[in-house]
Amino acid sequence: MGNAANKLSLNSKLVATCFLIAFGIIVLMASMWVSTERIKVNGPLYQDIVRGKDLIADILPPPEYILESYLVVLQAMTEKDVSKLASFQERIKKLRSEYDDRHIYWDKDLPEGNAKKLLLDSSYKPSTIPPKRISFPLWLQTTTFWPKSC
């Protein structure tokens, strides 16, 4: 086999080397194209990520939304068994903690603009300041709503 390579002229060896390099470049470009197609925006991998994120968003209530807190308070208000109120109070504390964590996250991560103003000012302040007419869930952990036994 080594004899066959020695019998080739320098020109033939140069052409063979160029073809080998060209073939390597084509294989590399093809693999890069396949990888790029897979991970690009709206590609299969991107769609898997979006689908998973959408599924989680559909199943779990967002922490930056106080409706679940309001529901827990309404459930606590209608509960007849005082021994069960402690679990409602713990749930309110957990929801408040999650709400505050997400508020801090969005305060740091959300770029300046109308969305940040609406989320961090217009919706946050009313949810943390007790209104005059109604009982609002997020501040209930510090009020006299809960019996002393909780």
Note down pLDDT in tens along the chain; length 150 residues: 456 667 888 899 999 999 999 999 999 999 999 999 888 888 888 888 888 888 777 777 777 777 888 888 888 888 888 888 889 888 888 888 888 888 888 888 888 888 888 878 887 777 766 555 444 444 555 555 665 555
User: What pLDDT is recorded for position 135?
Assistant: 44
Specify the pTM: 0.55
Q: Left (φ > 0), alpha (ψ -120 to 50) or beta: where does 81 sit?
A: beta
User: What pLDDT is recorded for position 146?
Assistant: 60
User: What pLDDT is recorded for position 133?
Assistant: 47
User: What pLDDT is recorded for position 5?
Assistant: 64
What are the CA-CA distances from residue 47 to residues 51, 52, 56, 58, 60 (Å)?
6, 8, 14, 16, 20
Residue 118's Cβ-side half-sphere holds a number of Cα atoms within 13 Å equal to: 3
Question: Domain residues of the chain, as ranges?
Answer: 2-55, 63-142
* DSSP annotation of 40: S
What's the token pair of residue 65?
């939304």
User: What pLDDT is recorded for position 134?
Assistant: 46
